[in-house]
A and B are shown apart, each in its own frame.
Chain A
Amino acid sequence: MGNLFGAVGKESIDSDLEAMAVWAESYSYAARQLEEVFCDCVGVWLFGQSYLHSFRYLLAPDLSERPSDNYPPNRWRSEFAIEAARSYGDSADSTFANAFRPFEKSREKKVEIADIVTKTLVPKIIAEANDFFDGKKLTRPSATETERCKQSLYSLCPFSDYESVGSLLNAAWELRLDLENWSIPGVPDDVSDEKKIDILNDLVFKSFEVVEWNGLRPRVAGNKI
């Protein structure tokens, strides 16, 4: 770090203007990266496994270069998300991170410093995200509720009586990842996966719509000709 900060010592690193100009950039990168990690933790808290599945669906296999130094590498993000899931009591697939390309090293020292800071603070951020939900009256997805949702979707019924939307999404992802074994009554067995996904999407979106409707019902239901 000597070449980066010149002759500045540890004792004056937060008062020397030249040193501050350098590490302020690292600070900025680290702050942005930690925001992303916090958001991932919020996603994992709210949506459980389905957040991980969506993360992989949208970002894997991560063939491009690191899109921005304001984000931790996707491989790291996936590892942090797994760490968060385990911390919140979920079982997590240990091979999940393998969907992403291993991250080697940042191109710039300033970013590398930020990466190290981010990695060091992850456990604290995971705990912060958990604390964030204290008193918010939100419910985490549960295995029991996920199973209820799944049985409903299996029998071609939307499910709107959930406490956590994550349970519904988890159930939908479980079906989505096992389409081969989902035989839909009224639909030929050799139907394409795309058609099955259309039906699954319909069931999930209808579930959301019903929840929205139940909230608006007293106001909207008065609309009679």
Chain B
Amino acid sequence: MILNTLDISQRLFDETDVQKRIFLIPAPDRTEFEGHSGASIDLHLGRWFRTMRQSNVTVLKVGKAQSYSGFSKEHFVRFGKEFILHPGKFALGMTLEWISFPGDLAGHITGKSSLGRRGLVIETAAGIHPGFAGCLTLELANVGEIPIALNPGMEICQVFFHKTLSANSRATSQFKGSRKPGSTT
């Protein structure tokens, strides 16, 4: 069962049941959010990015975790400035929002059609498990023909929430995501 805007709003702003709350920081303006008729919430782009750089690494062994700090680079972009994603390039980004899922909700993150039409892919590993807490990592790729300017703070993606059939009390607010794209594959 997917939550609509009013369901999401209740989970965001109703403080009576902490176990069922979605914590979203910064939170949207309640009145403005409830004025939407959809079934998702828009998230904004954060300020930290990580890109691959030219290196002598011949193969990425994705079967095991490995640090790629040696062939990737972290970037910080201030609010009001741009991060340019060139055609064919890939970068990790983060949502500005820190989100915490209760034990009875899962979710998925997806791009916005306005960005997709310009060739920007937002995410491939889109599932979010109950109990997730942290910022969401974005796998940004420009599959279009023209460089895309990304501004920290812009609306970048949307999250849909799914009610699970039963709640997992052990899954409440488990730390998963930091505020920067990690340096480990």
Sorting the interface of chain B by its residue count into under 10, 10 to 19, 20 to 34 or 35 or more gives 20 to 34
Q: A155-B173, A186-B175, A216-B80 are in contact. Are A160 and B133 (CB under 8 A)?
A: no
Q: In the complex, are the beta carbons of A220 and B131 less than 8 A apart? A: no
> What is the number of contacts between chain A and chain B, taking CB atoms within 8 Å?
87
Q: Which of A184, A198, A210, A225 contacts B25 (CB 8 A)?
A: A210
Binds B, one of A62-70, A96-104, A163-171, A201-209: A201-209
Give the interface residue-count category, chain A: 20 to 34
Residues from chain A with a CB closer than 8 A to the CB of B154 are: 220-221, 223-225
Chain A residues whose CB sits within 8 angstroms of the CB of B148 once the complex forms: 225
Report A110 CB to chain B, min CB distance, Å. Answer: 47
Q: Write out the residue numbers on chain A whose beta carbons fall within 8 Å of the beta carbon of B179.
A: 202, 205-206, 209
The answer to whether A213 and B26 touch across the interface, beta carbons within 8 angstroms, is: yes
20 contacting pairs across A/B (C-beta < 8 A): A156-B173, A157-B23, A186-B176, A187-B175, A199-B175, A206-B179, A209-B46, A209-B47, A210-B25, A213-B26, A213-B96, A213-B153, A219-B80, A220-B80, A220-B152, A220-B154, A221-B44, A223-B154, A224-B154, A225-B118
Contact string against A for B residues 89-131, beta-carbon threshold 8 Å, 1 for contact and 0 otherwise: 0000000101010000000000000110010100000000001
- What 0/1 pattern do residues 70 to 87 of B give for CB contact below 8 A with A? 000000000110000000
With a 10 A CB-CB cut-off, give which of B26, B100, B114, B178 has the most chain A CB atoms. Answer: B26
User: Would you call B153 and A185 a contact (CB within 8 A)?
Assistant: no
> In the docked arrangement, what's the CA distance between A158 and B174, Å?
14
Inter-subunit contact A206/B175 (CB<8 Å): no
B142 at the interface (CB under 8 A from A): no
B112 to chain A, nearest CB (A): 9
- A198: chain B residues within 8 A (beta carbon): 178
Please encode chain B, from 4 to 25, with 1 for each CB lying within 8 Å of some chain A CB and 0 for all others.
0000000000000000000101
